[in-house]
Amino acid sequence: MFEPIKNKKIHQQVSEEIQKMILSGELKLGDKLPAERKMAEMLNVSRTSIREALRSLEIIGIIESRQGEGNFISENFDQVGLEPMSLIFTLKNGKFKDILEIRNILEIEAAGLTAERITEERKEILENLLTDLINADSEAERVAIDKSIHYKIAEYTNNILIVTILETISSLMIYFIKDARLKIVKNLKVDNLLEDMHRNIVKSIISGNKEKAKQAMKEHFDNVYLSIQDNEEFDN
């Protein structure tokens, strides 16, 4: 049969060209790209097309444009993907429940994986965070530490996809419910549930017991779920 005639737009081709250089390793984190005028000359296209390509790469977080300096490959991407996700989520009528559901799944599994792969050095870091949490004297602080603990657990799975996806989902949650984390932490403050639960999680991860770690994380989320059940704001 005939092959479909390709009619790719210039800016798209330019974008792909840059992506290729990234995928091939030619461009690395933090690298500076050639100046726009230079690139336009090199690829023999207008600066307009170069810029349209850069814009598309910018919004997905791959590059950063700094006026007067240049275009750079981003160093920081933990929160990449939020923009598209939140829009798609809205357009497809996603429910808040969906966010919680997948977050629970991933956090529970992450706890299990981290328990299997934990190192001495990392055990110490987690324990320090736990101590900080117990000694925290403001809710803002507790929220920050709570977030750190969960982030570290995800990071210690050694699976970059889990980290990226969980970050995206967390951002998505915040996007839909402002200060969601703070509200949850407030509710759990009663009876020191927050501290107890996290002590449980950290201890079981440190013990290296996968199933115990998953169970502890599950219980934590069960509590979270109970604590927000009555809050109409989370209803969606």
Partner DNA sequence: AGAAAAAGATTGGTATGACCATCATACTTC
Partner DNA sequence: GAAGTATGATGGTCATACCAATCTTTTTCT
Give the binding site for its own copies (CB under 8 A). Answer: 11, 15, 19, 22-23, 28-29, 48, 51-53, 55-62, 73, 77, 80-81, 83-94, 98-99, 101-102, 105-106, 109, 113, 159-162, 164-165, 169
The set of long-range contacts for 144-149, using a CB threshold of 8 Å and a minimum separation of 24, is: 146/181, 146/185, 146/194, 146/198, 147/181, 149/198, 149/201, 149/202
Number of residues that bind DNA (CB under 7 A): 25
Residue 17 Cβ vs DNA, minimum distance, rounded to whole Å: 13
Q: 37 touches which of DNA, its own copies, none (CB within 5 to 8 A by kind)? A: DNA
d(CA 122, CA 120): 5
Three-state DSSP at 73 gives strand
Output 33 or 224, the one with its CB closest to DNA.
Answer: 33
Output 34 or 61, the one with its CB closest to its own copies.
Answer: 61
**Interacting positions 134-153 with DNA (CB under 7 A):** none
Q: 45 touches which of DNA, its own copies, none (CB within 5 to 8 A by kind)? A: DNA
Residue 9 interacts with DNA (CB under 7 A)? Answer: yes
Residue 74 interacts with DNA (CB under 7 A)? Answer: no
Task: State the number of CA atoms in the 13 A half-sphere of 131 facing the CB.
Answer: 6
Residue 236 interacts with DNA (CB under 7 A)? Answer: no
Q: 20 touches which of its own copies, DNA, none (CB within 5 to 8 A by kind)? A: none
Residue 7 interacts with DNA (CB under 7 A)? Answer: yes
Residue 84 Cβ vs DNA, minimum distance, rounded to whole Å: 19
- Which runs of consecutive H residues, i.e. helices, occur in the chain? 10-23, 36-43, 47-59, 82-91, 96-117, 120-135, 139-155, 160-176, 180-189, 193-206, 210-229
For the chain, state the CA radius of gyration. Answer: 22
Crossing angle of helices 160-176/96-117, nearest 10°?
Answer: 150
Residue 66 interacts with DNA (CB under 7 A)? Answer: yes
The sign of the dihedral angle between the CA atoms of 165, 58, 180, 197 is positive
Residue 10 interacts with DNA (CB under 7 A)? Answer: yes
CB 219 within 8 A of CB 104: no
Binding mask 19-58 for DNA (x = CB under 7 A): --------------x-xxxx-x----xxxxx-xx-x----
Q: What angle do CA 96, 192, 136 make, to 5 degrees?
A: 95
Chain positions contacting DNA, by CB under 7 A: 7, 9-11, 33, 35-38, 40, 45-49, 51-52, 54, 65-71
